[in-house]
Structure 1
């Protein structure tokens, strides 16, 4: 037990040491609500790519960040905080919104589940839309919602242009939608498309990740 406690203390100390650099602390603050590519981090911080790479390597070494390959542009990667990155640490970023709009390409799975989950965690209104909406909600998403006793919104997937207003807080949950919209979104969550695989495990993994992120964001997103 004492060995495990010492190991935990050493890991916590390593994370605090990594965050002792102002630039790395700023990177973590940027990532507390959404995923960013290294290029997006460089632009946000006004820093050259080599220095960003160095800071990301330090954060990755202490287990605070991980990277995933974009499903859309295979040359691009996204950086996200690991599930334990902020254990015993206090996130530093908060936001305000009148309404949340979850966006993916087809508006048939991830964005539908996200909007339904949000309604169980926050009183701020939420809806979903797609950049290229499908004809219907994916059967896998419907089945996932049923397994988790989560009521999905009725109706067909909606095009983003018919839903979006200037005051909306936009969260893309799809790499393709994020890269299509660019800087017009407020947050991006790089969540693999469960429809590609179609398995229950793929849908449940997406559901669990959405639930984790929404539970965190709901406590830090206030009404305007």
Structure 2
């Protein structure tokens, strides 16, 4: 490839980047307009690969059902697996069921349990992630993969650095999460001092749908806050 051709290609790439700002702005505006109407919700995260009938699929559905009966709506990533279970539980309970879908080549497809007027589509992960955080009264994090961990640690980081207000982050499945947070405690806190002792209090690990509601209730009672009902 000639130097001249290389520079032309680079300039074309940068020009496309400049125009992309309008698409990014459009996704933010559309997301803000729709999400501002939904009322208080809890975001549920977890693997897209979990199948119906598996332990954490069924538990996510029960958690979502219980959350709706407690007066919240449910936000998920809108796809299959744990996301589908969360939307299904909300749908069966007759509550708000929101899906924030991302266009991916293989993994993602809309699940059928999202309210028709609350099914949003995004091209940009970072825009979608803003919607999860900005419009959630709490995070319920089921077992998942890299995407789930990404959402979890971004939320912890934003709260830790006070870029957003504190809200409950509830990890469901002690058999799945305990090893990770034991490593956080020993490696990050005790061995290297990379976090503060109080940072360990930003998350709660539970095993049942009842415990999820107990943590939500306790958080808003102790902090003298109320969800934005």
Q: Which has the higher helix share?
A: 2
TM range (shorter): 0.3 to 0.5
TM-score (norm 1): 0.33
